[in-house]
Structure 1
Amino acid sequence: MSYSPALLAEFAPTGVLRASINLGNPILANAGADGQPFGVSIDLARGFAKHLGLPLDLVVFDAAGKSVDAVTNEQADFGFFAVDPVRGAGIHFTAPYVLIEGSYMVPEASAIHSNNQVDNAGVRVVVGKGSAYDLYLTRELKNASIVRAPTSPTVVDTFLAQGCEVAAGVKQQLEADALRVPGMRLLPGRFMVIQQAMGLPKSRSPEAVAVLRAYVEDMKQSGFVADALKRHNIQGASVAPAA
């Protein structure tokens, strides 16, 4: 499919399509031994650039909040985000392409054994600053307090350094940390499901938003997203249903 020069200029005002990539979510993006990013987000970014016929630049960040700010402030042209109403003030979201579980981790000796025991006075929950978990738990927790780590991958290190009661984040990241740090356990189940979507700056036109939304639906329906999850050996995430 070909698009008008005006629409392509809207997608890439600098002439290069800039994709905001968050390395703080290991389900979607990671850095290889050579420092180059890889993962489901990168595959989708390259696919979208090819779809538009534009060159691509990956703008890489270590935290979700920084990635969101880059698109909101138009330092990047699109990105990959957990859907959240706070972020929706500056970003047009597509329907989700992947669903991701959020979990809690506690010390083995903790008296907390279920998710509904977390929201109590005296419980400190560590989250990555600006992450979807931060935004969600800021709204939902009424009695527990929130401690914000600089990034999602540093949640468990902050949790240990400050002697907090609960760490919250991507289930797969916490599982990896539990293998790294002895004496930890994940609480059963999940406290939320993240709807991971693509997004454009709020200033972009309805036509541009429609193109990105259609691209995401095509990538789900064609099996591209499922194949990317399999290719990158991602467990615990599933392809979102059709919009």
Structure 2
Amino acid sequence: MAFTVTRRLIVAGALLTAAATAFGGLTATANAQSVEDIKGKGKLTIGMLVDFPPFGITSADGKPDGYDADVAKLMAKHMGVPVDIVPVTGPNRIPYLLTGKVDVLVASLGVTPERAKQVAFSEPYAAIEIGLLAPQKSPVKKAEDLSGKSVGVARASTQDQSLTAVAPKDARIMRFDDDASAVQALLSGQVDALGVSNVVAQQIKTMAPQANYEMKFVLKSQVQGIALRQGQDKLLGWVNGFLDTVKKNGELNAIHQKWLGTDLPAAVTASKS
């Protein structure tokens, strides 16, 4: 029995040693905690979605582009190093960060308690807002003003739930199978207003600029943060300082105006580093 136990311990030790050797390079990468470490390797590696317009897209020449790309480039500029933007997907973006394939994520990652158990979040740099879109000439300014009016939403969506909670009883909420159908109802005049995210709202404004649509009020905000590995305290401090600077000097607002056509949401500007 003693021989068996001893042999098992030896085998287990050998396996651990092999694992440590195999992942040694990965551990060294993942332990890069500071701006100095990043400057030492010569570039800032940032993971980014490229399938979530206008935050992440692929340009005509095949390069990552969009709101997140501009934020990533600005971050590297302030750090004084080149940027290497690595395309990621929704499912693999956090694993890419945790395994050291990227230094940080600027990947439209909504800040949630569940995700905060896996990664460290910066102060917000963007936000997805759910609000009410209607023609500029519409007198609607708040939920109570929807009395007697028709509002389109995608069935069972966040905007459906948020609007249903605040709309007057005599408002007519028309539920469609998807955003595309709800948008068409607004464009065709079938509904007076539309519950929609600011991302889709910007697409509608681009599609029909002559209609002069505008967001009348916000129903809900989901802030997005730059994500880092837990324990990257020095780098997190730098990132928050960077965001504070670019919010105050207008650089981040200019990027938001470029890609979403509006100023930064209050949920972003109200946060303090």
TM-score (norm: length of structure 1): 0.60
> Structure 2 stretches of 5 or more lacking a match?
1-31, 132-151, 166-175, 181-194, 208-215
> Structure 1 stretches of 5 or more lacking a match?
118-124, 127-154, 158-167, 180-187
Q: Say whether 1:73 aligns with 2:73.
A: no
Question: Which has more radius of gyration?
Answer: 2
- List per-residue Cα deviations over 1:83-110 (Å, max 9, x = no partner): 1111112221111122321369427xxx
Quote how far apart the aligned CAs of 1:42 are.
Answer: 1.4
TM-score (norm: length of structure 2): 0.54
Instruction: State whether residues 20 and 79 of structure 1, in contact with CA within 8 Å, keep that contact through their aligned partners in structure 2.
Output: yes
Quote how far apart the aligned CAs of 1:66 are.
Answer: 2.8
Q: What letter is aligned with 1:101?
A: E
SS in 2 for 1:232: helix
Correspondence 1:1-243 to 2 at 5 A: 7-8=34-35, 10-11=37-38, 15-61=42-88, 63-80=89-106, 81-102=109-130, 105-106=153-154, 115-116=163-164, 170-173=197-200, 176=203, 192-204=220-232, 206-235=233-262, 238=265, 239-243=268-272
Change (3 A) 1:190 1:28: same
Q: Using the alignment, how far apart are the partners of 1:28 and 1:116 within structure 2?
A: 28
Give identity over the alignment, percent: 18
Compare the two structures and name the one with the higher helix fraction: 2
Change (3 A) 1:54 1:99: same
Q: Using the alignment, how far apart are the partners of 1:12 and 1:156 within structure 2?
A: 44
Q: What letter is aligned with 2:96?
A: A
Q: What letter is aligned with 2:58?
A: A
Whose RCO is larger (CA < 8 A, sep 6+)?
1
Change (3 A) 1:29 1:237: farther
